[in-house]
Structure 1
């Protein structure tokens, strides 16, 4: 079942394809009303330069569409754009459906590398498809915040579990346990190669959106969320190298790739480690282009057999 979207649009199953319906969102989450105003075009909106407004919008979206009644993140942590995060989940579901007779599978085990304080992928993936998640996290404060979200919403502790990665140089080691099986790995890797590069990226984003200087606070994030030595290419390459060790414990590994120019080198790295199949899945939200790369060490007959046991 290939149910993607036209170029420049969110996935057809994405609940956020149209404009935000603020009346419906406020009905579900009344505190949002205090942050909704008319923009210069006379259209209801929130001030995306205001971190509190963006956080409240996320609370409303998660409450209205995904029945997450309690969600919050500490100041200074990344506040994710819900529509784009949902798109990754839906496109990944299509990829997994290819090994399941074109039917999007449910009740899968998924590993989220670096789930963050927001825990966004497990929340959406569970509510949309009933997937069970293990989330890894290196930042102790982020893990506390994500665990608080899980604890505050009844039932989530049965389908989402978190594991602390105590070795900042490891990705799958210490997280995937012996005899565990995962149907997919997802990851939003650190994008930048240094703190200064991350700051410059935020400044460009602010200029492109025409927002004020205070917007830099909104595009915050901790070091582990925004940058690592070598940037996303180095991080994903490390993922690729380490994934070989767990080749028989996961059907599909995947990661977002923000810079398209990194794809060629990542494909070469996957060829070198013997990946059987590699995919680049393009996604888009308006003018913003994004993608994820996925790879597997299992042939299709084996993937189909494992998927049939779900």
Structure 2
């Protein structure tokens, strides 16, 4: 993980339980003897997330509606820290901090995870956009219920599902960066198959570690990979979404310093770079991230002279 990622050394379960007592109900003993949770149990994962956000990011209360994505906090933190490194390259090597740094989270979701981490870590101000009404309501509630977050997060509804920036970025606004975790799958069927594969893999690993799970329903693992349609899939999948983002970013090239987006499949990188070059961006970067054995990355492009 990133050197500034506070989660790089694992989860201090005793401290987390002290700050968020509800987590205690989900603790189990791993084969190593250390305390853990059953990561195939959705309620346990949500409790761990809430504990992490309370302990590290000053959040008083955090929750998401049933069926919405519950993001892994450490990986989301890596994306924020990667953007901080990107901004530092144009600021004499120093990470710009404070509420004068504005970021746009495209697809904030019900969890508002990126603004929570970014505002707590660097004091940045965020606009979060989404097409889903319940996600908008949930993100607004998270902002209003947490005094540290409220002045640094504004949530806007994207009324046109075909647009990414239009209707969200106002004419007089400037953003240091935009960020996005795009829908990965091409269809609902593809998303269901992907969730099933993840569930099987997670359950297999759980048995390998001989975890003593409190609940062992065969249906439990699949539930951990729930999510609304707009969170999981779009026509054409990840590549089509990112290419649409690139084409629409041209209209806002003077208002945004860096456009960024996560890329799940490395096979998409070449096509993404080709699109960025086609639309006349001056700089294209690929920023690698890693969580354990899993490698991930985000891409960044700018139309401005750097």
1:238 aligns with 2:229: no
Query: Number of matched residues?
Result: 291
Counterpart CA distance in 1 for 2:237 and 2:36 is 34
- Residues 84-129 of structure 1, C-alpha deviations (whole Å, 9 max, x = no match): 0000000110010000000011121000000000000000000000
SS in 2 for 1:134: strand
* Residue 208 (1) aligns with residue 201 (2): yes
- Tell me, in whole angstroms, the C-alpha distance in 2 between the residues paired with 1:35 and 1:114: 30
Find the residue that maps to 2:143 and give its secondary structure.
helix
List runs of 5+ in structure 1 lacking aligned partners.
1-9, 301-310
SS in 2 for 1:80: coil
Question: Shift in Å at residue 206 of structure 1?
Answer: 1.5
Give the whole-Å Cα distance in 2 for the aligned partners of 1:154 and 1:183. 24
Select 1:219's aligned residue among 194, 209, 225: 225
Aligned to 1:75, the other structure's residue is in SS state: coil
Query: For the Cα contact (< 8 Å) 1:26–1:60, is it kept in 2?
Result: yes
Deviations 1:202-260 (A, max 9, x none): 11111222264321111100011000000010100010000000000000000000000
| 1:75 matched residue in structure 2 | 66
1:183 aligns with 2:176: yes
1:16 lines up with 2:7 in the alignment: yes
Question: Do structure 1's residue 99 and structure 2's residue 90 form an aligned pair?
Answer: yes
Instruction: Give the Cα separation in 2 of the matches to 1:155 and 1:104.
Output: 21
Q: Aligned to 1:134, which of 110, 124, 127?
A: 127
Report the TM-score, using the length of structure 1 for normalisation. Answer: 0.92
Number of the residue aligned with 2:211 = none
- Residue 181 of structure 1 deviates from its aligned partner by 0.3
Question: Scaled by the length of structure 2, what TM-score is found?
Answer: 0.94
1:59 paired residue among 50, 55, 64: 50
Whether the 8 Å CA contact 1:206–1:213 is kept in 2: the answer is no
SS at match of 2:159: coil
Separation (CA, whole Å) in 2 of partners of 1:56 and 1:69:
13
Which position in structure 2 is the counterpart of 1:253?
259
**Which 5+ residue runs of structure 2 have no aligned equivalent?**
207-217
